[in-house]
Structure formats: C-alpha cells, structure tokens
Structure 1
Amino acid sequence: MKIEISNIANLPSRFGKYKIKAFKEGFKEHLAIYKEPFGDVTNVRIHSECLTGDAIGSLKCDCRDQLEASLKFIEEHSGMVIYLRQEGRNIGLLNKINAYALQDKGLDTIEANHQLGFKADERTYEIVDFILKHFGITKINLLTNNPLKLMGLKCVEVIARVPIVIEPNEFNEGYLRVKKEQMGHILDEK
C-alpha cells in the first residue's frame, strides 16, 4: 500500500513542545508526535485513537490518561507517540458505540465485540513498523501495558517495556479487569 507522508510541523501543546508528522494509509491518517533527540534507544508509545476518551474525557476507559502520561513522559525523556487511527480497537466509532450499548446491558468489552462479529482486538501494527523505519528507529523502550504490542512489531528490537500505571475509577474498573484477566495486560507494575 502507498503511504503519503506530510511535512514536519511544530506542535506546542499543554504537555510540551513537539514535532508532528502525518502518515496517510488509505483512508486512515496516523500521527507521529515526537521530541528529539531520540538516542540509541527511542521511547515509543503506540496509542490507538479513542475519541470518547482522548477528546471527550470518557471515564469508561483509561485511554486519555495513558495518552497524557505518555506525552508527559516523552516531553521529559524525548521519544515518540504514534497515534494510530484505529478507533475502538479498530472496529470503528459506530461499532464502538454499539459495543458501548451492549456493555450498558451487562456485556464486557470482549463479549460486546464478539456479539458484533469482531475479535477482542482488531488492531494491526504494520504502519507502526513503517513509521519507525521512516525515522530510522531500530531499538525502542515501549510505553505499554499491552503484550500484543510487544509481539506486533517486526522491524525493531524492544529493549524494555515501560509500564503506564493509571488509577482506576468507578466507571472503568471492570474494563481494566477484563484487560488484565482476559487480554493479559500488565496493569499493576510501577
């Protein structure tokens, strides 16, 4: 697939001053938000889009908290946040809201996805490999709790996993429990 790449622009934000570059893959446009210098081992967060959490501040997930923690980490230590346009574990916004409605009826996130005909997690990481190669990054410290991300990268060596520990709230405790118990997320390390 052909990937279109934008120019580099400055991105001052409430978390720090970054550079930003977009990568267009078909109809999806992904971002690399970064602060140099990278060094021999680059700190990288792969963050999948979550409109309800990232932009609206939903308390049903920990997405916004993870994104903000990652941006703060990158501001302090340099590195990159790769923002993937894979809403709702890549089932899309419409299906994510339908999954929310099923969760309101008592299903957990995995059961809701299965009820809609999807796997628990439909995300892929080929574009991440492309972006990392584009920047010449070969060794990373991966900011994640998700073991699938550790296994999903093919073009880099993961030197270390940096945990992102977020305090649960009354609305996302069940969601986080499912991530830990059924998806193998490592949530309780500091």
Structure 2
Amino acid sequence: MNTAIRPLLLGLALALGSAAAHAADAPATPALPGESLYHLRAGLTDQQERTLAWSDLQGRPQLVSMFYANCHLMCPLILENAKAVQKQLPAPQRDGLGVAMITLDPARDTPAALAEVATRHRTPDGWRYLRPAADDVRALASVLDVRYRFREDGSINHTSVLVLLDPQGRVLARSEVVAAAPDPAFVAQVRAAMAAAD
C-alpha cells in the first residue's frame, strides 16, 4: 500500500469508528405507531419564521386546527374555543399542551400575518401558528379530516374543528367548533390525555 495513503485511511477509519460510537450512545427515537399522523412529511414555518417538520410536534399532546388569517367568522371562534379548552386544564397541565394552528392559505398568511393574528387574539406565547408549504396544505387537511374550498371572493369554506393528538400523533378526539365555549366532553378528553402523558 502506498505509504502516503495509509495515514489517510487510518484517519478515516478512526473518524467512522468515532461516529458509530456516538450513534450507539445517542438515545433511540421510538418508532411512531402505524396510525400516527406524524408519518406525513410536511414542512412548516411558524410565526417567528422558524422552520420545522410536521413530525417535530410529537412528544406531547397537541391540540391542532386549520384556519386562515382573513377569516372573520369561524376562525376567531376556533381560537377562542382552543383558548377556553386550555384555560380549563389544571394549571400544571396548561403549558404541557401543545397548540398548533395551521393556515389553509399560505399564499397570504406570511409569518408576519400569523404573528399579527397571535397578537390580535391574545393567544398564549406557546401557541404555534404554522404556515405549510403550498404543496402540503391538502395533505395536512386530509390527515386531519378538514375539508375546505376557496370561494371566488377569497374566503375559504372549511371544517371548523379541534383535533386532539396524543404524543405520538394518534387522533384521540375531535370537537366541531360551533361557539367560543368548548364541548365539556372534549375538555374531559384533553384532561385525560394530559394526565396520561404525565
């Protein structure tokens, strides 16, 4: 073997061995169950312009809905309903519940527009307002069972619903939003999910 190549091969072997050792020491990410919605690959940007993957929401119960910033009827009710659900949790559990509001209108709902919605509706700081890539909106709506249709005036007809996901992304419950006050049965399901996650 060429003596000039030998040190390079030795260095490469040591580097690969070190990488393998670090990989063995790293905690293994548990495999997602088959019915997890987080199997869907979708890219998102939040109201602070941070990028994340849809699967990054795993790890704690999540309250998820789809809305759009220019909606003046049902979307404000969705936000108020979700706020009321969170307020009805025992204090130690409130911060443990993830809340993600995903826009149906990424063309208009920039991170700045989503940040303005968060401010206008005074939602808690931990909420995430998420803008999917345009190609991912329909896929996210499909897994969340949200039906929507753009109208000629720019408004969007859509399902008004809160979806409760467990830490692995399985659907635990759904609540159709018809008013600002949440369904007591749904609040009970959220409490149970939070207790199970503790």
Tell me which interval the TM-score lies in, with the shorter structure as reference length. under 0.3
Higher relative contact order at CA 8 Å, sep ≥6: structure 1 or structure 2?
Answer: 2
Q: TM-score, normalised by structure 1?
A: 0.28
Q: TM-score, normalised by structure 2?
A: 0.27
Would you tell me which structure has more strand in proportion to its own residues?
1
Would you tell me which structure has more helix in proportion to its own residues?
2
